[in-house]
């Protein structure tokens, strides 16, 4: 279990930075350099604005001062000899600098947003990679709704980065401007800087704890809402039949309205520091200007210039300071979502090496030649004292059809997961053609398996997209899809559809019968030409007629592939070459169907009598 990440901004930035590839890290440093340049440009702009205000308010004094500057000689002696020329010169300079500043700010802002979006997309990709490459047992321990929500919430990480970079940009602007003002008027600017800084810190610290608590509650309610919706949509048929629509709506309503109320408080709290600081800023400006006029003794040009400079700097700094305070509040709003994503990234980090191994291993299949051997294999799920499978030893030869039977809870599906390679034994060993079943071999083995589950997932797409699951458009081998339709004995009903294999069949195959859905699943399993077919109770949810039709389809593949059939109904395994009887996680007996099935039926009959008695 991943350790909880404390709400420490520096630590969280380091966590995010550590997740980034080298290219994204270089881009970040380039953005920071751009922000620094923008800060210098903003300071220079403030100086030009101050010069313009001074020129307009006291042109004669400014003209006398300007006549001593070097650019008078460069531009021509007569150009700055009158106030009109001076004001036109400063005006043109101010407009030019402002135009450059706006362009640079737009460029930096664009790349900040683009960078945040790219990081958000990258982290979403990393999460999905981790989920898909993570241990199957780990995935089983997670709520699917939470995994889906976490990838959706990766956009909050993008918002967090965007807000953080904007805060950092404003901090750089404020720091450079205040440094410039301090170098010109230290006695006047120092008290203002100290008062503003202390007040900003006080406001932020007074609101952050409330924001942290509310933000965590909002995140928890959003996760709860997502789970409720996920349950409602996936269980719609049971809900309708049971008349429980209002019950699920009520379960949604409570958290939704509580989340809405908390979001309102969250929004006000995040903006409150800005409102308070704006008020205090106006108060400070009034006090400083009054102080300069009433107490300081200075020449008209110096006083006017100082007021103009302070006004120009205040025009940029005070809004930036309020944005910084609000930005920190906004960061705390996003913090719980960022922590959630980072916690998942910490959990999946050990699995990311598996992704690298997959890339190195390519997409080659394992060339199955002889047999699969289970040698004293045992397995148990983490957190459970009792093992599901105990000391299993048996062999499956290539080309044979093997049935696996047993009551519910005997360990059939877990055994299938071990055969596929989704789970690894706790003890014992699985060998394929005398090779240990692990690492890249296990991946290559999986690519050689066609798996047909009891309840296949049919996506909201066409017949072709469901058979060539994962491929879209031109990636789909349409000829292979048609071949699979014939092999799965579904060509008759497919060609009877309006658009054939291009017919849309709806989410979870709502436009298909149960038998048709199973045929789609069989065709999907055959699409990549596997050597081993595994049918995991593929007919248990069908009626007798559909079951018989699917059985005929399954056994039409006998001899062409190695087949493993997990069954609850014994009729499904009557024509197998071998039957493995599981009981309480162990093998009770192995033999041909003629030996095993009569004894199994008698055993089940005696068990029913015992239960009835």
Q: What is the pLDDT of residue 460?
A: 82
DSSP tally for the chain: helices H, then strands E: 21, 10
Q: How confident is the model at residue 26 (pLDDT cuts 50, 70, 90)?
A: very high
* pLDDT at site 301: 44
What's the DSSP call for residue 531?
Answer: S
Please give the residue that has the higher pLDDT: either 199 or 591: 591
Pairing of strands 586-591, 435-436: unpaired
Answer for the pair 424, 380: CB distance below 8 angstroms, yes or no: no
Examine the pLDDT at 229 and tell me if it is beyond 70: yes
What pLDDT score was predicted for residue 300?
47
Q: Which tops the pLDDT comparison, 330 or 81?
A: 330
Percent of the chain with pLDDT over 70: 74
User: How sure is the predictor about 71, in pLDDT bands with cuts at 50, 70 and 90?
Assistant: very low
Mean pLDDT of the chain: 77
pLDDT digits 0-9 by tens, 557-581: 787 888 898 887 788 888 889 999 9
Rounded Cα distance between 505 and 512, Å, is: 7
More reliable by pLDDT, 73 or 407: 407
As a whole number, mean pLDDT of residues 91-111 equals: 82
117-176 pLDDT, tens digit each: 888 888 888 888 888 777 788 888 888 878 888 888 888 888 888 888 888 888 887 787
Q: Which of the given ranges, 41-45, 285-289, 308-312, 334-338, has the highest pLDDT on average?
A: 334-338
Q: Evaluate if residue 242 carries a pLDDT over 70.
A: no
Element (H, E) at 375: strand 371-379
Residue 35 has pLDDT above 50, yes or no: yes
Give per-residue pLDDT as tens, 478-515. Answer: 999 988 888 888 888 888 888 888 888 877 777 888 78
- Does position 366 have pLDDT exceeding 60, yes or no? yes
Backbone angles phi, psi at 392, to 5 degrees: -85, 130
Q: How far apart are the first and last CA of the chain?
A: 47
Q: 588 to each of 45, 173, 390, 415, 418, how far by Cα in Å?
A: 86, 77, 11, 14, 19
Which tops the pLDDT comparison, 501 or 264?
501
Tokens representing 160 are 């967090």
- H or E, element range at 53: helix 22-57
Helices (H), 58-82: 59-66, 71-75
Residue-level pLDDT at 537? 80
User: Over the Cα atoms of the chain, what is R_g?
Assistant: 36
- Residue 116: burial class (beta carbons within 10 Å; 0-12, 13-18, 19+): buried
Region 276-284: mean pLDDT is 65
Residue 477: pLDDT above 70?
Answer: yes
Percent of the chain with pLDDT over 90: 3
Q: Is 80 exceeded by the pLDDT of residue 418?
A: yes
The C-alpha angle 544, 549, 553, rounded to 5 degrees, equals 140
HSE at residue 346, side-chain half, CA atoms within 13 A, is: 15
Higher pLDDT, 37 or 79: 37
Structure-block tokens of residue 141: 């321990």
Domains observed in the chain: 9-350 (1.20.1560.10), 371-612 (3.40.50.300)
| Spatial distance between the Cα atoms of 529 and 467, rounded to a whole number of angstroms | 12
Flag whether pLDDT at 516 surpasses 80: yes
Which pLDDT value is given to residue 473?
82
Residue 396's nearest CA partner among 424, 423, 422, 415 is 415
For residues 185 and 177, what is the distance between their CA atoms, to the nearest angstrom?
12
């Amino acid at each position: 279990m991943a350790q909880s990440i404390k709400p420490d901004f520096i630590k969280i930035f380091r966590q995010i930075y550590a997740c980034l590839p080298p290219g994204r890290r270089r881009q970040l440093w380039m953005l920071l350099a751009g922000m620094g340049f923008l800060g210098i440009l903003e300071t220079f702009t403030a100086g030009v604005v101050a010069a313009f205000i001074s020129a307009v308010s006291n042109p004669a004094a400014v003209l006398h001062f300007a006549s001593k500057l070097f650019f008078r000689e460069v531009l021509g002696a007569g150009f700055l000899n009158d106030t009109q020329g001076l004001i036109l010169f400063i005006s043109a300079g101010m407009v030019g600098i402002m135009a450059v500043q706006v362009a640079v700010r737009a460029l930096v802002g664009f790349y900040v947003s683009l960078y945040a979006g790219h990081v958000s997309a990258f982290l979403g990709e990393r999460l999905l990679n981790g989920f898909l490459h993570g241990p199957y047992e780990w995935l089983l321990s997670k709520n699917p709704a939470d995994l889906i929500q976490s990838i959706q919430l990766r956009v909050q990480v993008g918002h967090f980065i965007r807000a953080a970079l904007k805060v950092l940009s404003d901090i750089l602007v404020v720091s450079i401007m205040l440094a410039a003002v301090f170098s010109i008027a230290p006695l006047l600017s120092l008290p203002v800087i100290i008062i503003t800084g202390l007040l900003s810190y006080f406001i932020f610290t007074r609101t952050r704890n409330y924001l942290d608590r509310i933000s965590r509650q909002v995140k928890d309610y959003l996760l709860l809402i997502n789970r409720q919706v996920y349950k409602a949509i996936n269980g719609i048929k049971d809900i309708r039949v049971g008349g429980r629509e209002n019950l699920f709506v009520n379960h949604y309503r409570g958290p939704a309205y509580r989340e809405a109320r908390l979001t309102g408080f969250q929004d006000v709290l995040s903006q409150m520091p800005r409102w308070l600081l704006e008020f205090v800023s106006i108060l400070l400006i009034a006090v400083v200007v009054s102080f300069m006029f009433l107490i300081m003794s200075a020449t008209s040009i110096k006083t006017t210039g100082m007021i103009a400079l302070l006004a120009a700097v205040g025009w940029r700094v005070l809004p930036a300071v309020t944005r910084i305070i609000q930005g920190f509040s906004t960061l705390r709003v996003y913090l719980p979502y960022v922590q959630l994503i980072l916690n998942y990234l910490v959990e999946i980090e050990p699995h990311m090496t598996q992704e690298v191994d997959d890339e190195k291993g390519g997409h080659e299949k394992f060339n199955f030649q002889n047999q699969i051997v289970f040698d004293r294999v045992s397995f148990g799920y983490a957190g459970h004292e009792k093992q599901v499978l105990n000391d299993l030893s048996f062999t499956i030869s290539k080309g044979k059809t093997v049935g696996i039977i047993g009551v519910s809870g005997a360990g059939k599906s877990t055994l299938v997961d071990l055969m596929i390679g989704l789970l690894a034994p706790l003890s014992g060993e699985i060998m394929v053609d005398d090779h240990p079943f692990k690492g890249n071999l296990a991946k290559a083995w999986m690519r050689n398996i066609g798996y047909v589950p009891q309840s296949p997932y049919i996506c909201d797409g066409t017949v072709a997209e469901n058979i060539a699951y994962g491929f879209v458009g031109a990636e789909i081998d349409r000829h292979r899809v048609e071949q699979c339709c014939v092999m799965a004995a579904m060509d008759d009903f497919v060609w009877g559809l309006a658009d054939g294999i291009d017919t849309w069949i709806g989410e979870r195959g709502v436009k298909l019968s149960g038998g048709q859905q199973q045929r789609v699943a069989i065709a999907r399993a055959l699409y990549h030409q596997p050597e081993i077919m595994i049918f995991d109770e593929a007919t248990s949810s069908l009626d007798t007629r559909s079951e018989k039709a699917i059985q005929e389809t399954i056994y039409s593949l006998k001899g062409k592939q190695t087949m493993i059939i997990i069954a609850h109904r014994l009729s499904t395994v009557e024509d197998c070459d071998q039957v493995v009887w599981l009981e309480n996680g162990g093998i009770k007996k192995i033999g041909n169907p003629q030996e095993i099935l009569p004894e199994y039926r008698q055993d089940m009959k005696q068990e029913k009598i015992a239960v009835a008695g």
